[in-house]
Amino acid sequence: MQEQEEIKIYPKVTKMLIGSLAFVLVGSGLIYGGLTSDNIFIVLDGMICALFFGMGLVFSIVKLVQSEPALLIHREGIVDKSSYASAGAVAWSEIKNIHIYQIKNEKFIGIDVYDPELLMSRHPAWKRKLMSMNKGMTGSAIHISASSISCNLYELFPLLYREWNASKNLNPETKEELGL
């Protein structure tokens, strides 16, 4: 059998970096404005905004510096590192379905797994909570956002789907050899 190469999809961080920086500045402005006008609600809004988008800013800077793939596709499965709530390593045999969906103007690839609880149990509590919230909103345990990756979602989807289907058609000896 011919050895399949790994396919690496890198993150697209420029929009996130600029957007997060802008909202950190807006949050800081709200904090300053709230303090000067003695309005605690504006201060709290500013703090929430600055903290939330500050995490996005840190995430995008780390992704920019690390330059490791947001998504890795290989013969055993995928490795998702596309967001804070990313799933990590997922074997093809764990995947139940792959589909595209849209929330407002943002498109995603959703990946359903047979046992979402098992997938989430591999991660720390804070990440399990994020993954659980995402799953609750969309029904899928894994989400790959079009805005977080450097390739076209409509080119990536058929590739993922084809690799997943190909893994189901392997003979039993090959599956055992791959650990599937």
| Residue 179: per-residue pLDDT | 52
Query: How many Å apart are CA 26 and CA 52, to the nearest integer?
Result: 12
pLDDT, one tens digit per residue, over 148-179 is: 888 888 999 999 999 998 887 765 554 455 45
Q: Are 32 and 24 in contact (CB under 8 A)?
A: no
Strands 142-145 vs 88-91: parallel, antiparallel or unpaired: unpaired
Say what percent of the chain tops pLDDT 90: 29
| Residue 153: per-residue pLDDT | 87
Supply the mean pLDDT for the chain: 84
Ranges of the chain whose pLDDT falls below 70: 1-4, 170-180
* Inter-CA distances, 37 with 26, 27, 43, Å: 16, 15, 10
The strand ranges marked E within the chain are 7-9, 71-74, 77-80, 88-91, 95-103, 106-113, 142-145
